[in-house]
Structure 1
Amino acid sequence: MRTKLLSLVVILHTLNSFSQKVKGTVLYNNYVIPNVEVINSNTRQLTITDAKGEFTIDAKTNDILIFVSKQYQLKKLMLNPLLYTNGVLEVDLILKAVELSEVVVTNIPSIKLGTDQKWEQTKLDQYTLEKTTAAPQVQGVYTGTIVNGLDFMRIGGMLLDLFLKDKGPAKKEAPEIAFKDFAQSKCDTVYLKKTLHLQPEEIGLFLEFCDADPKSKTIAANQNVLSLMDFLFEKKTAFKNLATAN
């Protein structure tokens, strides 16, 4: 009995020592892969999968097959009877990771806005100009964008502000003074009583009477004291005549 078992082991070993035709298919996600190089690293024999992803190569158990493709990761496989399905060797490959080309990252400083709106707008304009300049431009074709990304209407307004600042602050017009206030500031109550012979209760009414004359506005605007006194004398007579008539 031992002799028979020993003989069987010798026969199997002998069979395994001889190469045989190994048939196989190379796949990726159940899709066949053509043009994959299949190399027997023990014998240095090479073959290539056909349009159906199939190959045939001489190999024996424990030989190492190497599968090489540009799009897929290299795979090494040691042959043994458990790898076969219905006498065919099915090999699954893994797709290589896509290599990204070099990416240039431009460091753009962050922009912090402050309280000076005009100064901050200048910084934003500079950032917009740099960004637009860096972008690819179509030569000879108007794309409808503002040249260099600048708002010329707003920039024109800024230049106008600078021009006005260079000219200096505009002169402010003197506030208009009421005739009654001007008359009371230059002619006191004693003057109105003794010189114009007005009663205390007539002073307010008299000034209202004078203020109704359009000429009073010119006198108040010019602030001429002599013109004021002549005007008061002139209006005093008319005021007295009006009071007598009533």
Structure 2
Amino acid sequence: MTNEDLSGFPLVLEGPNVPMVSFKKVTKRYNELAVLDCLDLDVFQGEMVTIIGPSGSGKTTVLRILMTLETINGGVIYVNGKPLTHMPQGDRLVRANSRHLRQMRSNIGMCFQHFNLFPHMTALENCMEGPVHVLGISRKEARERSEELLDMVGIADKRDQHPSRLSGGQQQRLAIARALAMRPKVMLFDEVTSALDPEVIAEVTNVIRRLVSQHHLTMLMVTHQMGFAKEISDRVCFFFRGRIEEQGTPEELFGKPKEERTRQFLSAVRDAI
């Protein structure tokens, strides 16, 4: 860890078209198993990128690393041009300390498969908690922001309900509103529709589509549901053995995949498309 050579990585990314998220030669290992293998991936401002692939291909690891829930073994990750996993020290990069990680993590919001809502708080209180206690804004401002977001995701009438009184689709929409209340630059979605009944997936799909069209958020999503990926994405990346085997627009990747491994995977899940 301490002897890694970072001389080839810039202190910051600069230029006219800097990616919002940039993985540069990122490697993540568990013992001898390389879950991410020298990964290069750029996600640009306002882009919705979906990661698909077989189990064990490194999909969720990408999100966990971005949320700083996992450390990396090689390479550098940048968010909005600044290093996430490392920080400048003089004219070189060193491993990020906890203060730098907290500061950079404030740019990123994440919605999990199982919502992770606070069960003892109402919908409104769930949304207000982070802005008040993490961002330090006033309760009045946090309330106004949270009420606006609950209205945006279509559950303003549920503001005083606890999560146990909400349907699965309503809970997932609340989780999205809570993440947005922190004003992230990047939103991560980890299997956000897999725990939902088919008839309520459309609710969450509509909310995410609205985020794409109205808020120009940068989004990175992992899903096993190919129809959802095909409908919502600007770009789809097929992961295999810790690398991007193939990427393209939904029309390109689902309609005319170039790589044999991509064709095999899509053939195995074709009933879901």
The TM-score with structure 2 as length reference comes to: 0.14
Max radius of gyration: which structure? 1
TM-score (norm 1): 0.15
Q: Which structure features the higher share of strand residues?
A: 2
Q: Structure with the greater relative contact order (CA < 8 A, sep ≥ 6): 1 or 2? A: 2
More helix by share: 1
